[in-house]
Structure 1
Amino acid sequence: MAEVIIMPKLGFNMDEGQLVKWHKAVGERVKKGEVLFEINTDKTTMPVEATADGTVLKIMLEEGAYAEVFTPIAVVGQDGEDPDAALAAQAGEATAPQPAAALPAASQPAAQQPAPITYEYEVTVIGAGPGGYETAIKAAQMGKKTCIIESTYFGGTCLNVGCIPTKALIKTAELLTEMRKAGEFGIKGVSPDALSVDMKVLQARKGRVVKTLVNGVKALLRGNKVSVVEGRASFVDAHTVSVADKKITSETFIIATGSSVFMPPFIAQEGSNHIITSTEALDLDHVPGSIAVIGGGVIGIEFAYLLSHLGSKVTVLELTDHILPMVDPEISEMAQKRMEAEGVTFYLGAKVQKIRDDAVYYEKDGVQASVQADMVLMAVGRVPNTEGLNAEGIGLEFDRKAIKTDLHMRTNLPNIYAIGDVNGKVMLAHTASHEGMVAVANICGHDEEMNYDRIPSCIYLDPEIACIGLTEEQAKERRGGNVKVGRFRMNGNGKSLVEGDTDGAFKVIVDAELGEILGVHLYGKHVTDMIGEVSVAMTAEATAEEMIHAIHPHPTVNEALGEAFMAAWNGKAINGL
């Protein structure tokens, strides 16, 4: 009778094992007492011996893969025996003793235990945006049998209707602006008035960029052996989702369904309007003569910059008293003044009440006013995507509209995690990706927590803005005013002068006693490519003094960072008065 070999339980706390190496292949003979395979437990690698003479008839677990204890992984028997019949017989013997497992060398048989519940997948990710697809790949790389479910488009909002297409359009706007200044750099033959943008060609280029990246995501998933299911997932229970007419079971789920544009119900719409969101703005086939942007956050300000440089007359209406709330106000005010000099109009503290016939009606300082425009861009935020998920139906807890998680990214149901915009913590693609890494680590038995104090933000204007950590006001509140602040203006930076743009400044906030980096806010050329240095420094708990002693190359815009830390810690920069 053929013997079904199972993953042995070699320790009290062992729930699964990793097949490290098969010492015999299918069709090869094995003798009793001969090492058949090796497994990794949570502590060590152990050889497992065959319990009888026979031929390896079937192997179900590949080298490097994981299996729960007592899961069938191979069949050993005599030549001509049917391994599938042996497996079927084992499955049907509910009341019979478990088939004898291969015995680990120098050990006694494990006590008989009931077969564990098995699922189709170990990890299933719902949503294939940046957070979702990278999380699925990481889970697969950790040896987990992984599935990803996507309802709309791979790459999510970021790759399709967010970060990437926006930057593709902004690149064209920047080139147009630079070419108009060609004469300042000694270039003849360029007539600024003759320059224009072919929106059809621009949109085609944007489409190619998006398509390349989306195809890359699909290739990465295939290459990492992640099973892909297309359709909308809805929870049946904590271990099952339905996708169309198919049921998928999984030991763990990671919800990464992202967010959608928020359309505020408190802003009335009357008459005939041309209201667009960021999604429609990315597909414009012409540049509107004028546009009113409702919202002064990152999305609103980037589109205000983009459309103004393409030729629109732009008006921004923001409810609070400053734009870009995550940026230190000293820096965001510089950006606002630059945009105003380039023709953008700002109304801060403006409470929008309604839109009627493309006129935005608002109240500011007790006075009613309105702005007429050809189009209105609604950019007041985003809301987590949970519609159709049946998250409430299976008992998931919410924090307002977001799925509630702890710092391990777990929900109140221990086998379900939620990452990215859907948990409402920090709606940034790179936050979602890192939350996914934390979730996978915890699924794999580690104990990792997410740190939300060191997440960089980037705003793609010209010059760019990048920031991480606390603003000056926040730092003073948390440290009782015991902070030092350093500033370095770009007019003291040689590379910025070479670039032809000395607007902007670097601002750093550090603890006055320890030199701990509390916040960094950069406004200058290429700063989105520099903020990663500060993220590494903060993660490594580097101090202001260590940042000063880190040698920054010359001539670069980046060397202004060391100057700003000098200004904060030593009281004065070298190249600034």
Structure 2
Amino acid sequence: MAYNIAIIGGGPGGYVAAIRAAQLGAKVAVVEKADLGGTCLNWGCIPTKALVAGTETLHMVKKSEEFGISADNPTVNFAAMMERKNQVVQRLVKGINYLFKKNKIVLYEGIGMLASVNRIEVMKNDGTAEKIEAENIIIATGSEPALITSLGYDGDRVITSNEALSLTEIPRSLLIIGGGVIGCEFACIFAELGCDITIVDVMPAILPGIEEEASKLMQSLFKRRKIKVITSAKIAEVRKDSGSVTAVLDSGEELAAEKVLISIGRTFNTEGLGLRELGIEQGPKNEITVNSRMQTNIPNIYAIGDITNKIQLAHVASAQGITAVENIMGRQKEMNYDVVPNCIFTAPEIAGVGITSRQAREQGINISSGKFPFMALGKAQASGKTDGFVKILADVKTDRILGVHIVGPHATDLIAEAALAVRLGATSEQLAETIHAHPTLAEAMMEAAEAVHGKSIHT
């Protein structure tokens, strides 16, 4: 065979798998139709975080008087902000290309499909076709924003996250359909830029998958920031008028905005791959069925990332990619989804790992909890970032930490300690007895662990 491993898709699952395979001595090829890095790097995680960094800076400039600094009437150069976002993305894409050359990974620029269990046909971007032979194949084609034509999607006035990252002007008003992670992150970005934001969601609360207290707090903080949230509501109709788009709710209420952002899910990129022709098993949503080793029902064909419909996060895709490669290369490795940190880059940030209080109730687990507010923390006060809390859920019988949930400054960084604690089976007492540096935000983790047993010093 020409290659030991050929991978269709160069996103955070595919490119990480390729590099690990090369490190283990495999001859590797990757087929990618666009830029390396996939949705995460080009249209998701990284560009949105670049915009978040810009709006966080703007927020701090606006409140600079609190710190004794005068910065009157700050203005936003949106074009420059978007250009910086593009530069960040381009640098990281170049970095992956460098790593491919360093590890002697062959890149085919085009669209790949399975011709047989050992062959990929590539329709290259230059119009030519080529066949790749490989002992093993990994499918890592990812997902796309759901294009809901019934909601008026046109890529101009009714858009998805992809078009939102290519806007040339800040909309005066934005109606966001869907109060999940993507919708709430964009709400925070554009609200800080002065855009009038309304979120509509069919669920009873925004961010339904996170800890209940965290969801309630974020809804309250959104109200304080004048982000309007309408829950338990469906969109019955979308009308496009001369100067605005109007969404009609099932209640009859009408909401007008300059643009509408649809963020109600993603669809799997599994069409046109030749899956049915080869008999590769798929689930009810057209996801590819895999075992814990990331194998499909055809032993030498693996699938990773969003198309497996496990947990649609970049770091999960990367972990799945490494798992698939190490199994191909003769090592025994299985995916475990019990300890996956979930990070939401709203303002303030949200992060969680392990089970939620709702899941504990559903599973009949008796838990004790400890919560510590950032308001009571010296570093948070000094930084002027006091919204939020750390909440720890521990098993009543064993004191083992089962879940940690954070709303607040640098929550997405702080969750790493919690993930390690949950993975290693640490107890809340062990975490509380671990000396944490002062003054730091991480002290909130220690205090929350102490609070599980009513021993928090500063509350």
CA drift of 1:520 comes to 0.8
Structure 1 Cα separation of the partners of residues 48 and 135 of structure 2: 37
1:572 maps to 455
Structure-2 change in CA distance of 1:272 and 1:548 (3 Å)? closer
1:258 maps to 142
Equivalent residue in structure 2 for 1:227, among 93, 106, 109: 106
2:126 maps to none
Structure 2 Cα separation of the partners of residues 170 and 273 of structure 1: 23
How do 1:101-180 and structure 2 match up within 5 A?
119-180=1-62
Q: Which amino acid aligns with 2:249?
A: Y
Q: Which amino acid aligns with 1:556?
A: T
The percentage of aligned residue pairs carrying the same residue is 41
RMSD: 1.5
Q: Is 1:209 aligned to 2:88, yes or no? A: yes
Q: Is 1:422 aligned to 2:307, yes or no? A: yes
How do 1:330-369 and structure 2 match up within 5 A?
330-357=213-240, 358-363=245-250, 367-369=251-253
CA drift of 1:152 comes to 1.4
SS in structure 2 at match of 1:231: strand
Q: Is 1:484 aligned to 2:368, yes or no? A: yes
SS in structure 2 at match of 1:376: strand
CA drift of 1:263 comes to 2.1
Q: Which amino acid aligns with 1:226?
A: I
CA drift of 1:431 comes to 0.4
Structure-2 change in CA distance of 1:144 and 1:424 (3 Å)? same
Q: Is 1:443 aligned to 2:328, yes or no? A: yes
1:218 maps to 97
1:302 maps to 185
SS in structure 2 at match of 1:130: coil
SS in structure 2 at match of 1:542: coil
Q: Once the two structures are superposed, what CA deviation does each residue of 1:289-337 show, in whole Å capped at 9, x if it has no partner?
A: 1010000111000000000000100000011111112210101211121
Q: Which amino acid aligns with 1:466?
A: A
Q: Which amino acid aligns with 1:361?
A: V
Q: Which amino acid aligns with 1:510?
A: A
1:460 maps to 345
Q: Which amino acid aligns with 2:86?
A: G
- Any conservation in 2 of the 1:354–1:360 contact (CA below 8 Å)? yes
SS in structure 2 at match of 1:455: coil
Q: Which amino acid aligns with 2:303?
A: A
Q: Once the two structures are superposed, what CA deviation does each residue of 1:171-227 show, in whole Å capped at 9, x if it has no partner?
A: 111111110111111113x21xx2221111111111110110000000001101111
Number of matched pairs: 449
CA drift of 1:526 comes to 1.0
CA drift of 1:428 comes to 0.5
SS in structure 1 at match of 2:197: strand
Q: Which amino acid aligns with 2:445?
A: L
Structure 1 Cα separation of the partners of residues 157 and 3 of structure 2: 46
- Any conservation in 1 of the 2:156–2:163 contact (CA below 8 Å)? no
How do 1:488-527 and structure 2 match up within 5 A?
488-527=372-411
CA drift of 1:476 comes to 2.4
Structure 1 residue ranges (4+ consecutive) displaced by more than 4 angstroms after TM superposition? 270-273
- Any conservation in 2 of the 1:298–1:324 contact (CA below 8 Å)? yes
Q: Is 1:281 aligned to 2:160, yes or no? A: no
For structure 1, the 5+ residue unaligned runs are 1-118
Structure-2 change in CA distance of 1:309 and 1:410 (3 Å)? same
Q: Once the two structures are superposed, what CA deviation does each residue of 1:262-293 show, in whole Å capped at 9, x if it has no partner?
A: 1235x443999710110110111111110100
Structure-2 change in CA distance of 1:271 and 1:550 (3 Å)? closer
SS in structure 2 at match of 1:147: strand
Structure-2 change in CA distance of 1:393 and 1:351 (3 Å)? same
Q: Which amino acid aligns with 1:485?
A: S
Q: Which amino acid aligns with 2:65?
A: G
- Any conservation in 1 of the 2:11–2:40 contact (CA below 8 Å)? yes
Q: Which amino acid aligns with 1:214?
A: V
Q: Which has the larger radius of gyration?
A: 1
2:197 maps to 314
Q: Once the two structures are superposed, what CA deviation does each residue of 1:221-249 show, in whole Å capped at 9, x if it has no partner?
A: 11011111111001111111100221111
- Any conservation in 2 of the 1:270–1:355 contact (CA below 8 Å)? no
Q: Which amino acid aligns with 1:423?
A: T
Structure 2 Cα separation of the partners of residues 487 and 393 of structure 1: 53
Q: Which amino acid aligns with 1:294?
A: I
Give the alignment's TM-score, normalised by structure 1.
0.76
Which structure has greater helix proportion? 2
Q: Which amino acid aligns with 1:196?
A: T
1:110 maps to none
1:377 maps to 261
For structure 2, the 5+ residue unaligned runs are 124-128
- Any conservation in 1 of the 2:152–2:158 contact (CA below 8 Å)? no
